């Protein structure tokens, strides 16, 4: 089942076209790695899926349509009737560098619920624990939930940011080079949790690492060539 459809997307910053007439479909509950040379619009492409680019004054979606399957039908996410906070709840995003807020681990994970006006304390706690479990972080932080999140290691901080995205139970998760700042062990934990998350989420992930792509991705999108294909599966270690 197709979860996300992108049709004839052309995107520019000022007059500089960075994505030129790209179309692609992404199947539900799969991981697609978005690869390609630096500066070819991979990060920008992710922001088109959750409309995050709209905060940038010089950015312009010149043409195209993006639809996501919510419930039983595909919704045009750029339709005027779309509620942006609802869209961002369903389409979560995690950035390249971990960006914990200057507050406790507990408050960091629950922050999106607070923004959504969620008030039920017991349920909030349950959701926080579930999100931290899904992010493989619960065992490491359950005894220090009131500590400042910035006291965590880089890998833990990134898993915290993933938990913060997961607490809203997104249907789509966008990750922009989520392991770029991490060592091999911390990256491995994140790769494993992504494979688990695929059971409930459709994942688009920018990655420069061919070995990582082979370990986690079902499909690869080569953005600059406008093609999506089955992920390779051998054991080379090479940057793509
Ligand atoms: N806010 C902005 N204003 C002007 N140009 C921008 C802006 N953001 C990005 N760009 C330009 O758009 C192009 C695409 O940027 P983007 O970050 O999407 O590429 P990328 O493929 O993700 O690159 P990388 O692999 O280096 O992260 C680049 O040339 C970049 O300089």
Annotated domain spans of the chain: 2-230
Alpha-helical (H) ranges within 91-178 are: 105-115, 121-134, 138-141, 154-166
Across residues 89-107, what is the average pLDDT? Answer: 95
User: Is the distance from CB of 240 to CB of 60 less than 8 angstroms?
Assistant: no
Residue-level pLDDT at 235: 46
Question: Residue 194 half-sphere exposure, CB side, CA atoms within 13 Å?
Answer: 30
Which of 11, 38, 39 for mutating ligand 1's site (highest number of atoms within 8 Å of CB)? 39
Residue nearest to atom 5 of ligand 1 (CA): 13
pLDDT at 6 over 90: yes
Spacing, Cα 122 to ligand 1 middle (Å): 42
pTM of the shown model: 0.94
Q: What is the ipTM score, two decimals? A: 0.98
pLDDT at 23 over 90: yes
Residue-level pLDDT at 121: 82
- As for ligand 1, residues whose beta carbon falls within 6 Å of it are 13, 18, 38-44, 56, 58
pLDDT at 238 over 80: no
Question: Hey, what CATH topology would domain 2-230 get?
Answer: Rossmann fold (3.40.50)
Q: CB under 8 Å, gap of 24 or more: what pairs does 147-153 form?
A: 147/104, 147/105, 148/102, 148/103, 148/104, 148/105, 149/100, 149/101, 149/102, 149/103, 149/104, 149/105, 149/108, 150/100, 150/102, 152/100, 152/105, 153/186
Please give the residue that has the higher pLDDT: either 57 or 235.
57
The whole-chain average pLDDT of the chain stands at: 93
pLDDT at 111 over 60: yes
Residue-level pLDDT at 225: 86
Spacing, Cα 66 to ligand 1 middle (Å): 20
Across residues 38-48, what is the average pLDDT? Answer: 96
Spacing, Cα 223 to ligand 1 middle (Å): 13
Q: Tell me the pLDDT tens digit for each residue of 187-234.
A: 999 999 999 999 999 999 999 888 999 999 999 999 988 888 899 875
Residue nearest to atom 29 of ligand 1 (CA): 39
Please give the residue that has the higher pLDDT: either 231 or 235.
231
Spacing, Cα 96 to ligand 1 middle (Å): 14
Please give the residue that has the higher pLDDT: either 228 or 42.
42
Residues facing 67 on adjacent strands: 5, 76
pLDDT at 240 over 60: no
Share of the chain above pLDDT 90, in %: 85
Spacing, Cα 90 to ligand 1 middle (Å): 25
């Amino acid at each position: 089942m197709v979860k996300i459809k992108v049709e004839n997307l052309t995107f520019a910053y000022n007059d500089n076209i960075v994505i030129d007439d790209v179309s692609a479909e992404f199947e539900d509950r799969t991981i697609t790695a978005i690869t390609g040379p630096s500066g070819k619009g991979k990060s920008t492409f992710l922001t088109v899926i959750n409309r995050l680019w709209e905060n940038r004054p010089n950015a312009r979606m010149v043409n195209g349509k993006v639809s996501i399957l919510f419930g039983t039908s595909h919704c045009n996410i750029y339709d005027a009737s779309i509620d942006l906070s609802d869209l961002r709840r369903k389409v979560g995003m995690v950035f390249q560098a971990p960006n914990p807020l200057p507050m406790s681990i507990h408050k960091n994970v629950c922050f999106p619920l607070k923004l959504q006006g969620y008030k039920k304390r017991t349920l909030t706690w349950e959701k926080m624990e579930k999100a931290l479990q899904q992010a493989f972080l619960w065992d490491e932080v359950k005894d220090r939930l009131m500590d400042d999140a910035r006291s965590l290691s880089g890998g833990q901080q990134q898993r915290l940011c993933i938990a913060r995205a997961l607490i809203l139970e997104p249907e789509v998760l966008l990750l922009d080079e989520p392991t770029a700042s991490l060592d091999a062990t911390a990256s491995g934990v994140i790769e494993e949790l992504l494979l688990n998350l695929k059971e409930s989420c459709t994942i688009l992930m920018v990655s420069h690492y061919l070995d990582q792509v082979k370990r986690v991705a079902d499909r690869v999108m080569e953005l600059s060539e406008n093609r999506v294909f089955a992920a390779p599966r051998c054991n080379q270690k090479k940057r793509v």
